[in-house]
Amino acid sequence: MSVPANPPASLEAHEQTCRLPVLYLLGSGLIWLLVGLAFSALASLKLHAPECLPFAWASLGRLQAVASNILLLGAASQTGLGVALWLLVHLGKTELVSWGSAIIGTVVWNLALTAGIPALLLGGSTGIPGLELPPSLGVLVLLGYLLVAGNGVAAIMGCRRGGYAPAQWFILGALLWFAWLYTTALVTAVYFPSRGIFAAISAGWFNQGVLWLWLTPLALASLYHFIPELTGKPVRSPELAPVAFWSLALFGGWTATVGLVGGPIPAWLVSVGVVAGVLLLIPVLLASVNLYVGAVGSSPAVRFAKLAVGSFTLGGIVSAVTSLRCANAVLHFTQFEVAVRELLQLGFVSAALFAGIYALVPRLTGRKLPHCGLVKAHWALTVLGLLIGVGAYAIGGWKQGWGLADAKVDLLSVNAVLKPWLRLHTVGLAVFLLGQLTFTANVVLLLVGFALPVGRTLVTEVVTGTAPATAAK
Amino acid sequence: MNYGPLLFFGVLATLAASWLGLVAVPRHQLAPLDADLSTNSANSVVTYPPARSGQAVQGHAIYVAHGCVACHTQQVRAAKDGSDLARGWGRRRTVARDYLRDSPAQLGASRLGPDLANYGERLGTNAFNLVRLYNPRMAVTNSICEGVPFLFEQRPVGLTGPSPEALILPPDGGVEIIPSAAARQLAAYLTSLSSGGELPEAPLPAKEEGNR
């Protein structure tokens, strides 16, 4: 696996303003990814080993809440924002208006998430799906986000390039949408919930919105920029890109109720959600046509981009099909739904951002990642972990769904069939986590390398015990 | 796509539309929803859903804090949407009005465990439920539920014999298990779970047949 053909050696002068905030966002995003995955693996373990860790703080529900909040608000959001800020500065040929405010915002954000872990483990959950973080901490996350995102919006307004690139549309959308989604969710679901089930609808709007109007456009922005840059070929059928963008914008927000089919909410809300869920096929397919890579290129960035596009196409189609009522009647409430969410969040979003990270790290740090073997290991373990983890839940959840649909099969028999797949999922998550640890090790080696004069690879050899030939040239 | 203000406007307008449709309008539609008042055979007014006892309300908070929602739903779907009714998880589908007393409602999205919308109607005794909360596998072999053992205290049996509060378990070397206040509240909440009342918008099946 070779490093990109001609990676720009360093940042251009105007890009220097974004160097520190982008590095900080990417770094803390990576740490949150490791923390979130560790909690996720622990929660997955407790599903088939209910008697291990019999403590209140290790209740399955609490571990799951920590995992999902950290993976969403920490890992995916911060990494995505880091890549987005660089893209805006690079594409707009402009500077960050105030890199200090971006740093302060990230610090506030990180403090809130750090406090959120013990808060959730001690039972401080709001009990609203996806918004479990105690409300005061949620407000701090929002504040931190606004400080960082404000820089992004300013960079778009100060764009010095004639016209906007697709990556800029998607990022502008994501930045404004997330601010609106999270504010609304905090106000209507957490701070002023009306009685009964309204909070569930509002939380559904937030959760679906975060997937399709925040994580998806950030990941697509990364792909729309880096795929042409790395492969040297323009996107295919570029005239489809605006249609992909506007159809995503139009339908993404209306899928709020796909997780509530059959639920105790007004019937028209469910119908709207199902229709929007199916119509999401349009942006999924159009963007997939744009971004289809083919056999070109084998650099780590391109490989992750290919994984991301593949996961996006597959996950998008499956989630459109499963929003149909007939499929929903079987697969709703099963681990199959978790598999689709993991495929989109880890296989698509996270891989798309890693494509950006692999392309950016040399530019931001002025050095290449020191160890090629670790890059290969990262790639292999990521794919293997996804195949095992998502595959296990897809197959197990499918069987679980048909078992649940047949009232003659009792729940214990359904779970007995499911149990081996629950175990396999834990293995998959652990492998995936190991993959991200190999990437982290590479970054640590790169940082350690700064302590030595340029050109020395001694540290690499000593720490990993490999011959200089396999280390990056 | 090269005109900035149009891009800003479009981005905001698309989300505004779904915000209006899926947040503002549902709130407007659901806010006036209130408990159903009907008169029973003894000519007294019956409120549905009935208020929960103070203990059960505290139990709801414990249910939320431990994230029981990770594996248990509290919603019964109509026959066309799933096997919920056939499984005996309820006599009718649940509707918005069933959830008026819960804030936040614990609808749930996973059925690794059974649906609990009508748990109070089908469970055994309170004593059985406490055993189930202490160790689900003592009540249901092969259950994958983790229970809440940490809400129980293990202590030696006193000289005067087992405490009346102790769980009824096979004798175990002079040790007894005492539920904490939180465990009893959680059990009270589970006992109070019932969404089977008759509502104009959700008639019970027998009646529905009769109307046809």
Q: Tell me the pLDDT of chain A (473 aa) as tens digits.
A: 334 444 455 677 788 889 999 999 999 999 999 999 999 999 999 999 999 999 999 999 999 999 999 999 999 999 999 999 999 999 999 999 999 999 999 999 999 999 999 999 999 999 999 999 999 999 999 999 999 999 999 999 998 888 899 999 999 999 999 999 999 999 988 888 777 899 999 999 999 999 999 999 999 999 999 999 999 888 989 999 999 999 999 999 999 999 999 999 999 999 999 999 999 999 999 999 999 887 777 899 999 999 999 999 999 999 999 999 999 999 999 999 999 999 999 999 999 999 999 999 999 998 888 889 999 999 999 999 999 999 999 999 999 999 999 999 999 999 999 999 999 999 999 999 999 999 999 999 998 887 665 554 544 444 444 444 433 43
Taking the C-alpha atoms of residue A316 and residue A253, their distance in angstroms, rounded to an integer, is: 15
How close, in Å, is residue B63 to chain A by CA atoms?
9
A186-225 as b/e: b if 16+ CB within 10 A: bebbbeebbbbbbbbbbbbbbbbbbbbbbbbbbbbbbbbb
- Residues A140 and A190 reside in one and the same domain: no
Residues of B with CB below 8 A from A46's CB? 146
pLDDT at B202: 86
- Residues A17 and A56 reside in one and the same domain: yes
Q: Residue A102 belongs to what domain range?
A: 11-163
Q: Please give, one letter per residue, the 3-state secondary structure of A166-226.
A: HHHHHHHHHHHHHHHHHHHHHHHHHHCCCCCCHHHHHHHHHHHHHHHHHHHHHHHHHHHHH
Q: Do A50 and B136 make contact, defined as CB atoms within 8 angstroms?
A: yes
Q: Is residue A2 part of a domain?
A: no
pLDDT at A459: 43
pLDDT at B124: 67
Residues of A (211-230) whose Cβ lies below 8 Å from B: 213
Mean pLDDT of B144-170: 88
Residues of A with CB below 8 A from B1's CB? 163-164, 169, 242, 245
- Structure token pair of residue A136: 């005061």
- Residues A358 and A384 reside in one and the same domain: no
Residue B71 has pLDDT above 90, yes or no: yes
Taking the C-alpha atoms of residue A188 and residue A182, their distance in angstroms, rounded to an integer, is: 10
Q: Is residue A322 part of a domain?
A: yes
- Structure token pair of residue B105: 């409602």
With an 8 Å Cβ cutoff, is A419 touching chain B?
yes
How close, in Å, is residue B179 to chain A by CA atoms?
15
- Residues A39 and A76 reside in one and the same domain: yes
Mean pLDDT of B84-102: 92
Q: Do B67 and A59 make contact, defined as CB atoms within 8 angstroms?
A: yes
Report the residue of B14, B100, B142 to disrupt the A interface, i.e. the one with the largest count of A CBs within 10 Å: B14
Q: Is residue A389 part of a domain?
A: yes
- Residues A213 and A348 reside in one and the same domain: yes
Quick one: closest CA in A to B26, which residue? A198
- Residues A325 and A350 reside in one and the same domain: yes
Q: Is residue A4 part of a domain?
A: no
Q: Is residue A3 part of a domain?
A: no
Condensed to tens digits (0 to 9), the pLDDT of residues B11-61 reads 999 999 999 999 999 999 998 888 888 888 888 888 888 889 999 999 999
- Residues A378 and A269 reside in one and the same domain: no
Q: Taking the C-alpha atoms of A320, A423, A355 and A227 in order, what is their torsion angle to the nearest 10 degrees?
A: -40
Quick one: closest CA in B to A330, which residue? B82
pLDDT at A452: 63
SS3 content of chain B, % helix, strand, coil (to 5): 40, 10, 50
Mean pLDDT of B189-200: 89
Q: Do A272 and B106 make contact, defined as CB atoms within 8 angstroms?
A: no
Q: Is residue A6 part of a domain?
A: no
- Residues A175 and A78 reside in one and the same domain: no
How close, in Å, is residue B86 to chain A by CA atoms?
6
pLDDT at B46: 85
Residues of B with CB below 8 A from A328's CB? 81
User: How many separate domains does chain A show?
Assistant: 3
- Residues A29 and A66 reside in one and the same domain: yes
Q: Do A198 and B70 make contact, defined as CB atoms within 8 angstroms?
A: no
Q: Do B26 and A416 make contact, defined as CB atoms within 8 angstroms?
A: no
Q: What pLDDT band is residue B209 in, cutting at 50, 70 and 90? A: very low
- Residues A347 and A371 reside in one and the same domain: no
Residue linked to tokens 């280390």: A471
Among A156, A163, A194, the residue with its CB nearest the CB of B27 is A194
Q: Do B109 and A62 make contact, defined as CB atoms within 8 angstroms?
A: no
Domain containing A350 — which CATH number? 1.20.210.10
Quick one: closest CA in A to B60, which residue? A127
- Residues A346 and A437 reside in one and the same domain: no
Per CATH, is B49-195 categorized as 1.10.760.10? yes
ipTM above 0.90, yes or no: yes
Taking the C-alpha atoms of residue A45 and residue A33, their distance in angstroms, rounded to an integer, is: 18
SS3 B160: coil
Residues of A (38-77) whose Cβ lies below 8 Å from B: 43, 46-48, 50-51, 54-56, 59-62, 64-65
How close, in Å, is residue A415 to chain B by CA atoms?
7
Among A46, A129, A245, the residue with its CB nearest the CB of B146 is A46
Taking the C-alpha atoms of residue A10 and residue A8, their distance in angstroms, rounded to an integer, is: 6
With an 8 Å Cβ cutoff, is A12 touching chain B?
no
- Residues A50 and A152 reside in one and the same domain: yes
Q: Do B81 and A262 make contact, defined as CB atoms within 8 angstroms?
A: yes
Q: In the listed set A120, A147, A163, which residue is the last one of a domain according to the structure?
A: A163
Among B11, B106, B147, the residue with its CB nearest the CB of A173 is B11
Q: For chain B, which residues make up each domain, given as ranges?
A: 49-195
Q: Do A259 and B109 make contact, defined as CB atoms within 8 angstroms?
A: yes
Among A61, A196, A201, the residue with its CB nearest the CB of B66 is A61
Condensed to tens digits (0 to 9), the pLDDT of residues B94-115 reads 999 999 988 899 999 999 999 9
- Structure token pair of residue A143: 């504040």
In the A/B pair of chains, how many CB contacts fall below 8 A? Answer: 233
Residue linked to tokens 């997780």: A259
User: What is the Cα A426 distance to its own chain's centre?
Assistant: 19
Residues of A (341-380) whose Cβ lies below 8 Å from B: none
Q: Do A256 and B18 make contact, defined as CB atoms within 8 angstroms?
A: yes
Q: Do A246 and B104 make contact, defined as CB atoms within 8 angstroms?
A: no
pLDDT at A104: 97
pLDDT at A395: 98
